[in-house]
């Protein structure tokens, strides 16, 4: 499935509505508190136009609502990020995690008017972390509030991404551990990543 193009008028409207947010996003880096290295882990999250990605520190559930992010850190889905991805101007935020098969083939995740990117974060080990994703494209195809929670281990690296199959009409949130084996980097399924529900 390909992403549908938008009209010139719609693009101009987006430019007027989100131009300032886009400039802000270009200058923004990960400014979240960095836990002590001995008690922290790292996670890489993938985003692009049409995919919303948020994560919640020290929480085994997620919060949703019409207004605000409910305490989440927004990786993808903000107006500025979406605008940059639409124009192919989005960039990655790195904190030193090793490249993986997913980052080396990042362009394979991109679609028309939807450039893929990733952001890396330092997170506390031993505390629950919940990743919340959703997807919607201009054709009306969507997946809503797919969330997984796990407890990062100290010194470990992780990746999480929304994986889409248009042929089968499915969306899946995959969480993997990045494992270095000699000179190779592999992605291992994370057995302790479980489905997460909305906070009550």
Say if residues 161 and 102 touch (Cβ distance below 8 Å). Answer: yes
pLDDT at 90: 77
Residue 165, judged by CB atoms within 10 A of its CB (0-12, 13-18, 19+), counts as exposed
Q: What's the confidence (pLDDT) of residue 31?
A: 44
pLDDT band at 11 (very low <50, low <70, confident <90, very high): very low
CA-wise closest residue to 162 among 72, 77, 69: 77
Residue 149 contacts residue 61 (beta carbons within 8 Å): yes
Give the pLDDT confidence of 12-48 residue by residue, as tens digits.
343 334 343 343 433 344 444 555 666 999 999 998 8
d(CA 13, CA 10) in angstroms, rounded, equals 5
* pLDDT interval class at 71 (50, 70, 90): confident
pLDDT band at 93 (very low <50, low <70, confident <90, very high): very high
Query: Where residue 66 falls among pLDDT bands split at 50, 70, 90?
Result: low
Average pLDDT over residues 136-140: 72
> Which domains are present in the chain?
36-195 (2.60.40)
Which stretches of 58-141 are assigned E, i.e. beta strand? 73-76, 117-124, 129-136
| pLDDT tens track for 139-171 | 677 788 899 999 999 999 999 998 877 666 778
**Beta strands in the chain, from DSSP E residues, in sequence order:** 40-47, 51-57, 73-76, 117-124, 129-136, 142-150, 157-165, 170-181, 184-189, 194-195
Total-model pTM: 0.74
Better pLDDT: 163 or 127: 127
Confidence tier at 7 by pLDDT (50, 70, 90): very low
Q: What is the pLDDT of residue 50?
A: 82
Backbone angles phi, psi at 95, to 5 degrees: -130, 15
Alpha-carbon gap, residue 121 to 48, rounded angstroms: 17
Q: Is the pLDDT of residue 130 over 80?
A: yes
* Mean pLDDT, rounded, of the chain: 77
When mean pLDDT is compared across 20-34, 114-128, 168-182, the lowest value belongs to 20-34
């Amino acid at each position: 499935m390909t992403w549908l193009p938008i009209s010139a008028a719609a693009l101009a409207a987006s430019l007027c509505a989100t131009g300032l947010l886009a400039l802000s996003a270009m200058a923004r880096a990960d400014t979240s508190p960095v836990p002590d290295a001995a008690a922290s882990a790292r996670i890489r999250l993938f985003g692009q136009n049409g995919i919303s990605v948020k994560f919640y520190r020290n929480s085994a559930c997620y919060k949703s609502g019409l207004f605000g992010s409910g305490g989440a850190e927004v990786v993808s889905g903000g107006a500025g990020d979406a605008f940059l991805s639409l124009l192919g101007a989005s960039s990655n935020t790195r904190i030193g995690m090793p490249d993986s098969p997913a980052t080396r083939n990042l362009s394979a995740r991109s679609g028309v008017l939807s450039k893929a990117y990733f952001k890396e974060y330092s997170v506390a080990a031993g505390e629950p972390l919940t990743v919340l994703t959703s997807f919607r494209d201009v054709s009306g195809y969507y997946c809503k509030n797919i969330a997984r929670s796990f407890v990062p281990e100290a010194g470990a690296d992780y990746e999480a991404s929304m994986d889409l199959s248009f042929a089968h009409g499915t969306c899946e949130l995959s969480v993997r551990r990045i494992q270095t084996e000699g000179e190779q980097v592999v992605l291992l399924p994370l057995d302790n990543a479980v489905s997460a529900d909305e906070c009550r």
